[in-house]
Amino acid sequence: MNAVEVRDLSRSFDGRDILRDVSFTVGHGEIFGYLGPNGAGKTTTIRILLGLLAPGAGEVRVLGRDLAADDDARARVGVLFENNGLADRMSAADNLAYYAGLYGVDDPGERIDDLLALVDLTDRRDEKVGTFSTGMKRKLGIARAILHRPEVVFLDEPSSGLDPGAQRMVRDLILELSRREEMTVFLNSHHLDEVQRICSTVAILAGGRIRAFDSVANLTNASGRPVVTITLAGPGERSRAHDIAAELPYVMACEMEGGSLHCTLADPGTTPDLVTALVGAGFRIEEVRRSSRSLEEIYLEHVGQTEGGA
């Protein structure tokens, strides 16, 4: 059973299709990036998954349950929307204590102390949240979202409105939480750099449809570009290195540029074989680097197609 399952999900508002036949799954323990331009339907998908909106057609499951009709299942899920869900006139500790009461957290005092230490807000625990910076509120919002040790946490644009330093802080925090709390993270974002750095799988939503759904590694290692760049040490007979590589059956294309050999491989897993062949032919290798497309290129390719054609 997957942590999140979406099958043929469609939803329209006032006659306008927002989601059309959206399907994807998120495995347990994954950090999943849900990408798309503003208005693509990302937040609508999250709201449907959380049971806040009904699906027009199709089926959604979180931990195998329908959150709209299941209070107990909602206790196993955490969520951070853009507004953090905090009361400005209450202290950081009181805000967390409130949610601890709603979720029935055991030994809330210790858990709150732990989380405030984790998000580096122990010194501000008794100060009103209204006096906090946007970044501090976001950190406290994340602490609130995971207070009850959810198995799945939905983060809706967690870096929105933050400066680069705070964005990095939130990114590191998500990674730390995923590792420490072993939870599935559903990250709704259009910060492509952030998603590429921390997510294992992504889905790109545009025009209400899923345009791509795969692991970040598979998407960024897509064919059509050099996959491996090998820098040769010393002058040597470089044209011979090119000829040797070009004759290998798993090398689809090969090009020598300066001291570097760019090879497009049929399978990225054959990189060691290529290196062995070159070393066996007497070449000394200084560096082997796997080149890939950035998530941004892939995203723009899919979103651009949609905006141009849909």
Partner 1 sequence: MNTFAVIARREMKLALSNRSVLITAFIFSIWFPVMSTLGIAVSAEGDAMTVTAGIATITLPVAIFLGYIFCADAFLREKRDGTIETLLCTPVSLQRLWEGKVAGITVPAYGMMLLSVAVSAAAVSNFTGVSIITEPLFLVHLVFVVPVWIAAAAGLIGAAQFALGMRENQILGFVFIFGFFFIIFTLQSITPGGSSLSTTVEGVLAVAGLLLLALARFIAGRVTRERIVRTIP
Which positions lie near partner 1, rule CB under 8 A? 47, 50-54, 67-68, 71-72, 74-75, 77, 79-87, 89-90, 94, 98-99, 101-104
CB 78 → partner 1: shortest distance, Å? Answer: 8
CB 153 → partner 1: shortest distance, Å? Answer: 11
**Whole-angstrom Cα distance, residue 240 to residue 124?**
65
Residue with tokens 């290798």: 285
DSSP code of 82?
A: T
Which of 110/287 has CB closer to partner 1? Answer: 110
CB 44 → partner 1: shortest distance, Å? Answer: 10
Helix (H/G/I), strand (E/B), else coil: 296: helix
Residue type, 67: L
Which of 86/198 has CB closer to partner 1? Answer: 86
The token pair that represents 112 in the structure block: 């709150």
Q: Is the dihedral of CA 179, 184, 187, 193 positive or negative?
A: positive
Q: Where are the alpha helices (DSSP H) in the chain?
A: 42-49, 71-74, 92-103, 108-118, 134-146, 164-181, 192-198, 216-220, 238-247, 271-280, 295-309
**Whole-angstrom Cα distance, residue 141 to residue 87?**
11
Report strand pairing: 4-13 vs 228-232: unpaired
CB 244 → partner 1: shortest distance, Å? Answer: 59
Which of 54/279 has CB closer to partner 1? Answer: 54
Which of 57/87 has CB closer to partner 1? Answer: 87
CB 66 → partner 1: shortest distance, Å? Answer: 13
Which of 142/245 has CB closer to partner 1? Answer: 142
Q: What residues pair up with 19 in beta bridges, in sequence order?
A: 11
Which of 85/259 has CB closer to partner 1? Answer: 85
Do you know the residue count of the chain?
310
CB 84 → partner 1: shortest distance, Å? Answer: 8
